[in-house]
Each structure stands twice: as C-alpha cells, then as structure tokens.
C-alpha cells in the first residue's frame, strides 16, 4: 500500500472512531493548559489531572503561582514525578510571564520554548490547543504508531514530526494528533499488542509486526 493510501485510510478510520476529540488534560485557560502540559512530561495525563485541581485552586494564573513557595508547589505535584525540576520551572516561568508578558501566555513557539521546563512538544500542544496554530506534537503514542504504520523511521521524535507534517494535511494536524493518542491508548498499546486486533495496523502496518 502506498503511503498516500495509508494516510487516507488512517484519516478516514480515525474520523470514524473519534469524530470529535477534546484535549485530555483538564484546564480552563491558556496558563493552566501550559502548566498541565509541562506536568505531563514523563507521566500520564491521569496523574496530572489528579494533582492540577488542588494546584489550580491555589493558583490558576502566573501572578498567584509566582508567589507560592517552592515547597507548596512541589508537595502538590510530587505524584507526577520529576517534582523538584517541575516545581522550580512552574514558579520561574510564572515569574517570567508576569515580568515580560504581562501575565499572558505568548502565542509564539520561540517564546514558549524559552521558558524553563518547556520543550518543543509542550510548546506545540499549547500552540495547537490554545491558539489553533497548526502543530503536530509527538508523544510516545504518536511516535510508536507512526513507526508501526510504516510512516516514519522510528529513529527519534524529531524525524517522526517531520514525517507526520509531510504526510498529513496541515488543516488536520491539530485534531489528528489527539486522535492518534486516543487510538494508541485504546487499540495500539506499547505492551501486549496484537496487530491483528488493531483496525488500522492490521491494514497498513509494517510486515515485521506480523512475524
């Protein structure tokens, strides 16, 4: 099957399974989205959604967050892992937002990626979900599925992102990356995976998966 045929099949099947998708991280403004995505590094969305209600009750804007003590933030977010680094980054980026951006999250990749604790993937999520800018954030699910479907080399997330952007229509990126994440969790997990039971991989998957 040609890659263009794979892409058409994948888009059609994902729209069929997930006609509407919502961001999995609970938030109520651009700032809380930024913090939630930062917290999601190396942990699950479920873990993040357990701690953010308490954190955002204390501070849901950079002005309040920048005034919290490190220990307060750390003790709340500790279950997410990497607590020391994340707590420090949250407080520091909040101070930067207040001082340099008047408390508003900027709609710029370069500005977002300049913040402590914010990498390209986090910036991509914020740009796509907060501002509607076409982006294709690559998490472990997207990286895994793009390789299994024979659409990327699987070498690294940077290569996967380039391939995804080259293959899929730009106007579909923001919805599609969420659809792939949900699909990966439900049908195409990292462990105990049976390609024959996967509606997409069973059709477009790499032959090596079926050996």
Catalytic choice (50, 104, 139, 159): 139
Catalytic choice (6, 45, 86, 121): 121
5 is catalytic: no
90 neighbors 52 (Cβ within 8 angstroms): no
In whole angstroms, give the CA distance from residue 196 to residue 84.
43
Closest CA to 135 of 147, 146, 121: 121
48 CB-contact burial (10 Å; exposed 0-12 / middle 13-18 / buried 19+): buried
| Rg, the chain, Cα only | 18
Please give the backbone phi and psi of residue 2, each rounded to the nearest 5 degrees, phi first.
-65, 155
27 neighbors 33 (Cβ within 8 angstroms): yes
Q: What is the largest CA-CA distance in the chain?
A: 57
67 is catalytic: no
- For the annotated catalytic residues, the residue numbers are 121, 139
């Amino acid at each position: 099957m040609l890659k263009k045929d794979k892409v058409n099949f994948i888009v059609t099947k994902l729209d069929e399974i997930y006609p509407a998708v919502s961001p999995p991280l609970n938030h109520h403004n651009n700032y809380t989205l930024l913090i939630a995505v930062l917290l999601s590094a190396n942990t699950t969305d479920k873990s993040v959604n357990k701690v953010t209600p308490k954190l955002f009750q204390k501070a849901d804007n950079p002005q309040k967050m920048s005034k919290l003590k490190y220990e307060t933030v750390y003790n709340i977010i500790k279950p997410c892992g990497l607590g020391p680094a994340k707590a420090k980054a949250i407080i520091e980026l909040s101070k930067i937002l207040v001082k340099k951006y008047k408390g508003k999250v900027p709609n710029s990749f370069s500005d977002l990626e300049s913040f402590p604790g914010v990498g390209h993937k986090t910036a991509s999520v914020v740009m796509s979900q907060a501002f509607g800018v076409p982006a294709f954030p690559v998490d472990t699910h997207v990286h895994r599925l793009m390789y299994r479907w024979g659409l990327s080399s699987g070498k690294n997330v940077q290569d996967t992102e380039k391939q995804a952007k080259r293959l899929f229509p730009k106007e579909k990126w923001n919805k599609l990356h969420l659809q792939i994440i949900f699909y990966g969790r439900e049908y195409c997990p990292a462990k105990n995976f049976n390609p024959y039971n996967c509606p997409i991989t069973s059709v477009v998957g790499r032959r090596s998966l079926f050996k």
